[in-house]
A and B are shown apart, each in its own frame.
Chain A
Amino acid sequence: MADEFPAGDATTSGTTPATASTSAPSAAVVEAEHQPQKREAAALGIGLAGWLVPGLGHALQKMWGRAIVCFLTVGALVFLAVGMRGNVFSSEGSDAFGMLGYAADLGTGSFYLAAKAMETDGSDIAHAEGDYGTRFLAAAGVLNLLAALHAYEAYRGRKA
């Protein structure tokens, strides 16, 4: 899990050719490197995958540690948020805060649907737990968006 580098990134990682060859890039990655448009499209796909399923963007690049941690941390925040009866915003929000909350919640990707499915009693923001739960879910969404952006940038070779 430690010392993770994007697949095929031997130039920025500082690995020797011998170690780099153990995680040789796939034919599709090699081909994409020579075609900027294809590479950009692949990077967007990775970012989208990372958004839909937390950690998938990193898993596709064989950055397993980051993939597992993204999945678990976003999942834990969503699970805690629902357990604390936080507000899971819907698209029917009438004010700006409701819409912003919905946008943040949507950041969790498919976990938003899981939160909706688990939250059968509605929110209870009259208590502190519910208020914390609302923030937990919003933080999970923003964290997942950050992770998806990180996966996107890592594939483009800008960050790892």
Chain B
Amino acid sequence: MTVIEFRLTHFQSMTLFALIISIAFGFLSRRRTSERVKYIIWSLFLFLLIGVGIGWAMYPFSH
């Protein structure tokens, strides 16, 4: 049996992925705390917006 097991929805997985990657990018690409926070929020917002946007764009093809 695997040590741990997660059951996440598509949206939860996408949000978690976006949050983790945004934090990593923010810390790697910016020095100041305020810049990092702005970058993380903006990056997270764009990740989610584009993710949901692509999801809706593909919706007609799923039927």
Contact = CB atoms under 8 A, between A and B. Distances in A.
B62 to A, nearest CB: 14
Chief secondary structure at chain A's binding surface: helix
Interface size class of A (residues with CB under 8 A): 20 to 34
Interface string B8-48: 10100100110011011001100111001000000000000
Contact of B31 (A4, A69, A74): A4
A149 to B, nearest CB: 10
A106 interface: no
Given A73-B23, A121-B1, A147 B28 contact: yes
A146 B16 CA distance: 20
Interface of A: 1-5, 65-66, 69-70, 73-74, 76-77, 79-80, 82-85, 118-121, 128-129, 132, 135-136, 139, 143, 146-147, 150, 160
